Chain A
Amino acid sequence: MEFLIETILSGLMAGVMYSLVALGFVLIFKASGIFNFAQGVMCLFAALTFAGIMEKTGLPWPIAFVMTIGVMVFVAWAVERFVLRHLVNQEPIILFMVTIGLAYVLEGVGDILWGSDVKVLDIGLPSGASDYMLDNFNIYVEKLEVFAALIAAVLVGFLAIFFQKTRIGRALRAVADDHQAALSVGISLQTIWVIVWSVAGFVALVAGTLWGAKSGVQFSLSLIALKALPVLILGGFTSIPGAIVGGLIIGVGEKLAEIYVGPFVGGAIENWFAYMLALAFLLVRPQGLFGERIIERV
């Protein structure tokens, strides 16, 4: 029993990461219809920059963190100014290819600026097993993972309030609903794109930091982005709750599958379980768990 719970918990923790990456995708996809292939690399780039600034300048982590946010906002601004602005009204496939290019650029720039060695991101996050859980329930969980889940929950709550209650959040949802109408009431799409890419950059920074604190900042970080695709198929490309729930399901699902089904098929299920699940979903419910009902009314 304890073992089952431990498996589920560790799955949930991994799922939180997938959720955060998928969340970044959803934000950009909703606001601009762009499938941002570079979201995973943005996590890597943000974490690299964060670790790199601390390493090179020796500044305390909160200052480096704020500076990294500045860098991510700059990236958002540059993407809008030099890319999106010139490609409005282009086919989605063209924009998608542009984001592939962006992924390579960010990876290259990250490499040039901060080098390609694995970096430790030590910002004093709690580590080791949670004694409380071990003593009371005889369950082993990493403190860091619990902490990561908490941070992710706070971040999601903060985003929900931002989207539902603020003027900018409302404008973001308006743009997601109807570009043209948003323009007509005086919402500047360019401003909104910068904001949404900045928010996605911030989410990437948080995800990258949590992941990096656990296993070091390295280029394989961008690979977790590949897990975001099945998460999106599961949750629906336009649904924020979908991204979160989808991430958790895949995180837990692949851990359970590895342990309970793996032995029968020779293991390594964790690597492809997510894609199989997504495929099954595509057949049964292509709009995803939370895929939006499309409102059509004449």
Chain B
Amino acid sequence: MNETSANPILSVNNIEVIYDHVILVLKGVSLTVPEGGIVALLGANGAGKTTTLKAVSNLLGAERGDVTKGAILFEGEEVQALSPNDLVKRGCIQVMEGRHCFGHLTIEENLLTGAYTRRDGAAAIRQDLDKVYAYFPRLKERRSSQAGYTSGGEQQMCAIGRALMSRPKMILLDEPSMGLAPQLVEEIFEIVKELNRKEGVSFLLAEQNTNVALRYATYGYILESGRIVLDGDAKALRENEDVKEFYLGVGGEGRRSFRNVKHYKRRKRWLA
């Protein structure tokens, strides 16, 4: 298991999630995010990454999803009974898949909604706004544009900046790379890394883009059909043959011919 888990900011213990009372989606997922870590949650579309993040941030209720087993601890305390609002106050915030900026609000208004739960006064909020603009100079340029009319990259920055305005200890970041040009993806991951290093924000990062995610994360979990099938240090995962083959798309030349057979076998082993 994760060596640094001695001091976890988040631990998810064997949770099961059911949608609409019947659709079992997570079948016992456990993971740990150490304080100050960047942990990647990888897996194909439909594996259950978003569901896992929403289980943590308590946004499942709005989708008729329920955590029926297991426990989720944020800073050592059970948080399942809390509202998303309480969790944000405690420092755990989600940046949803597909950005979800408020389209009719300006970029600056979007950022300010991130400070909704704060009670430390306008001056402190102003200061953090400047800090967000320092990390994302593009947002400053577009501060008075309606978010709905900005580009995908700008919206992703806006969504992350908005989360930052809540002064989070941990950000649950869902597929930040989705639909963005490779260069922009790098730019955003660089900023994530910087936020992690300078602001001490921990990240749980759901991604389909295994390649990028494993370069920036310290640790990774691979999720398949609602189960963790593999986990390890990011470096180890990058070199793992299975990961290379199924998620990084770099199968060895010589294996091409019997690739399908092996594929089948490995899948079977993972799913067992």
A residues sitting closer than 8 Å to B (CB atoms) are 88-89, 167, 170-171, 173-174, 176-188, 292, 295, 297-298
Contacts and interface: CB of A to CB of B under 8 A. Distances in A.
Contact of B105 (A170, A180, A292, A297): A170
A180 B64 contact: no
5 contacts: A88-B62, A170-B109, A173-B105, A181-B101, A186-B88
A184 B59 contact: yes
Contacts of A89: 62, 64
Given A89-B64, A170-B109, A183 B59 contact: yes
Considering residues B105, B152, B179, which has the most beta carbons from chain A within 10 angstroms of its beta carbon?
B105
Contacts of B149: 295, 297
Interface string B55-97: 0010100101000000000000000000111011100011110
Given A170-B105, A184-B100, 20 more contacts: A88-B62, A167-B116, A170-B112, A171-B116, A173-B104, A174-B113, A177-B103, A178-B103, A180-B62, A181-B96, A183-B62, A184-B59, A184-B84, A185-B113, A185-B117, A185-B162, A185-B166, A187-B85, A292-B104, A295-B148
Interface in B107-126: 109, 112-114, 116-117
A186 B93 contact: yes
Contact of B104 (A88, A188, A295): A295
Considering residues B100, B146, B179, which has the most beta carbons from chain A within 10 angstroms of its beta carbon?
B100
Contacts of B162: 185
Interface residues of B, number: 34
Nearest to A188: B85
B113 A184 contact: no
Interface string B118-158: 00000000000000000000000000001011001000000
B93 A184 contact: yes
A291 to B, nearest CB: 13
A186 B179 contact: no
B163 interface: yes
Given A88-B62, A171-B116, A185 B83 contact: no
Contacts of B105: 170, 173-174, 177
Contact of B102 (A167, A177, A297): A177
Contact of A183 (B84, B101, B114, B179): B84
B100 A181 contact: yes
Contacts of A173: 102, 104-105, 109
A170 B87 CA distance: 21
B175 to A, nearest CB: 14
A89 B20 CA distance: 12
Considering residues B94, B102, B117, which has the most beta carbons from chain A within 10 angstroms of its beta carbon?
B102
B152 to A, nearest CB: 8
A178 B148 contact: no
A185 B59 CA distance: 11
B111 to A, nearest CB: 10
A102 B152 CA distance: 43
Contact of B113 (A182, A188, A292, A295): A182
The 6 closest A-B pairs by CB, nearest first: A186-B88, A295-B148, A181-B100, A186-B117, A177-B102, A188-B85
A297 B163 CA distance: 22
B163 A185 contact: yes
A88 B60 CA distance: 13
A177 B158 CA distance: 15
A210 B182 CA distance: 61
A187 B152 CA distance: 24
